[in-house]
Structure 1
Amino acid sequence: MDRSRRRLLAMAALAPLMPLGGCAVPPLTRVGSIVWIGYEPLFLARELGFYDPRRLRLVEMPSNTSSLMLLATGDIEAAALTLDECLLAREGGVDLRAILVFDYSAGADVVMAHPDIRRLDELKGRRIGVEETAASALVLAKLLEHAGLAPHEVEKVRLTSGRQVEAYRGKQVDAVVSWEPFATQLESEGARRLFDSRAIPGLLVDVLAARADALEEAPDNFRELVAGHFKAQEHLQSLPDDALRRMAPRLHLSHADARMALQGIRMLDRAANRDWLGGVSPRLGGAAAELAQTMRPLGLLQRAPDLRDLAEPRFLPGET
């Protein structure tokens, strides 16, 4: 084969990797998320076309534990997490920054129990399904505290979120530490709400956490990510029927059940996010410090967390 043909073939092979028109291909930012009503505006934003797929890719995860693992290895750049999980990752050496506060739970995190269990103390000796996450461990610990039970007085059954309904239906558990949309699905199987996050206000906060190095590499991607979330949130507020029609199928809920699930959380708008992330003493820092005081006696944190640079407001719309 002559030299000119070799050159042409080499150029053809490299063509898909070469930017068109001299424009650099934007870096791709991958964002992990489980199915949770509070994270749903991200997916609504994607459906409404607020995200450039060349820049942003939402990755559906089986659990927040999986998200934490991929954040640690750099296989995703950001993830929707609970604040306690963000603190765990930072203690483990992953430099995460909270660039958005989605919501705090006000009833959506719940312990669903067999209907013959009417009181908390009736959980003694029963099997409780729980995912191996910090958030679920916190709910279980607070449940037992309110019930006056020690950890050894119940049987803990490890469950991933996708197996909650199956395990309850198969009579493998008597109660489940759950959240929406799975709580509503369990209710349809006959389970009843025994305990929920209204009893532990402010303890379960959801954040969008990003690796510090990724924020420096692609700041415009993160501005687009956060701006799209707020646009989708405003769409939900102004056109709720249309938004819920789009959201319900991914949640595996009916339109009515999706609307009810939203009542269990308090979504935070732009102004609230400035309060939580901005200023000399961000509200998120106080919430994280209080949360750490709960986590350390449970063995979920080994030491008091370093909260410097946890709150990162510069990706909020209007911030620089």
Structure 2
Amino acid sequence: MLLALLALPLTACTPAPKPELRIGTNIWPGYEPLYLARSLGLLKGTGISLIEYPSSTETMRALRHGGIEAGALTLDEVLTLAQDGIDLRIVLLLDVSDGADAVIARPGIESMEDLRGRTIGAESSALGGYMLSRVLDKAGLKQEDVHIIPLMLDEHEQAFIENRVDAVVTFEPVKSRLLEQGGKIVFDSSMIPGEVVDVLVVRAAILADHPESLNTLAELWFHALDYVQREPADAARRMQARLRLPADRVLEQFAGVHMGDRRENDAFFDDAASASVKNATLMMQVMRRQQLLRRDVDVNRLFAGHASYKSTGTTP
């Protein structure tokens, strides 16, 4: 009994371990500041870990089954999960694609209209399905006018090189590598401004357990973006291995991506995210028309988590 009593103060003084916040991502320039923060040692002791998946489809699967607490996804992917009853909250704007997502076609295919009768590869369960629906809509084509084969992200480049597809719906850094192989852009996200938006989402059930981690993560994100501006050469060197590009090509990948800095995040979540809710609602309506969603989603609910924590404005 005495030993037990003596142990009480020691137990009481032992800090509780921080709850783990596992974040799933795939390869995409807009997510790289998270890995830059890790490379700089900023995640140590935060309880935040990054889980790398070969595609966003795998990130979505992990969120469905509770394998991770958070994920970096496009807004259309978030809507897809929400319609299936996965209760998520958007907590950070990561980026807006402005040309970095594209449909790359073989030589001889000069326009999106030329895709009629062609074979197109796409990750149809994720952003690829949305991009495909938008290019067909813009070209005045229907799904039955093309042949669609499902391709995971890590299959895009090989399928194109091996002539298994006439075009592929892809994004950086694969986009740049396919252009070097002679590919041609027939459609990209700059033609649908503001529609391809990447966000960080967390499962609503664990939101209350991680306010400190989410504040920390937001500040690390902004710090990493600042680091790219202050130390571009070192940032590029740290990011080149994951992007599989020479260091002098890394920063080019961000030319078609508008990053979600502090100002952009303030605007994104301003006034209860009224503009963002409107844009997400319009996207949901497009997805419903294209039969990418089976039912409506409570978009306001997706934006209800940001008020649960506040960015402190400090820099680590």
TM-score normalised according to structure 2 size: 0.90
- Quick check: 1:184 aligned with 2:176? yes
Looking at structure 1, the residues matched to 113 and 83 of structure 2 have their Cα atoms a distance apart, in angstroms, of 35
Determine the structure 1 residue equivalent to 2:18.
26
Match of 1:279 in 2: 271
2:306 maps to a residue whose letter is: P
Residue number in structure 1 paired with 2:280: 288
Instruction: Provide structure 2 residue ranges, at least 5 long, that are not aligned to the other structure.
Output: 1-9
SS state at 1:279 partner: helix
Identity among equivalent pairs (%): 37
In 2: Cα distance, 1:86 partner to 1:55 partner: 24
In the alignment, structure 1 residue 243 sits paired with structure 2 residue 235: yes
Letter in 2 for 1:246: R
Q: 1:65 aligns with which of 57, 61, 77?
A: 57
Give the structure 2 partner of residue 216 of structure 1: 208
Read off the aligned partner of 1:226 and give its amino acid letter. Answer: A
Work out whether residues 226 and 316 of structure 1, in 8 Å CA contact, stay in contact via their aligned partners in 2.
Answer: no
In 1, the alpha carbon distance for the partners of 2:60 and 2:45 equals 23
2:3 maps to none
Letter in 2 for 1:211: R
Match of 1:305 in 2: 297
| Structure 1 length-normalised TM | 0.89
Residue 313 of structure 1 and its aligned partner are, at CA, apart by 2.7
2:252 counterpart SS class: helix
The farther-off stretch of 187-196 and 18-27 is 18-27
The structure 1 residue matched to 2:248, chosen from 256, 265, 276, is 256
The answer as to whether partners of 1:19 and 1:25 remain within 8 angstroms in 2 is: no
Matches within 5 A, 1:49-60: 49-53=41-45, 55-60=47-52
Contact 2:83–2:296 (CA<8 Å) still a contact in 1? Answer: no
Match for 1:205: what amino acid?
V
What is the number of residues matched between the two proteins? Answer: 302
Return 5+ residue gaps in structure 1 as ranges: 1-17
Moved more, 252-261 or 207-216: 252-261
Quote the residue 2:72 is aligned against. 80
Q: Which residue of 2 aligns with 1:115?
A: 107
Q: Following TM superposition, by how much is the alpha carbon of 1:187 offset from its aligned partner in structure 2, in angstroms?
A: 1.4
Q: Name the Cα RMSD after superposition.
A: 1.9
For the pair 1:102 / 2:94, whether they are aligned, the reply is yes
**Does residue 41 of structure 2 align to residue 40 of structure 1?**
no
Verify: 1:171 aligned to 2:171, yes or no. no
Deviation, 1:174, is: 0.9
1 CA distance for matches of 2:97 and 2:59? 20
* Residue equivalent to 1:318: 312
Counterpart residue type for residue 131 of structure 2: V
Q: Deviations over 1:85-135 (max 9, x none)?
A: 111212211111010011111000101111121122221211111012342
Q: 1:309 to 1:318 in 2, by over 3 A?
A: farther
Q: 1:125 aligns with which of 104, 117, 123?
A: 117
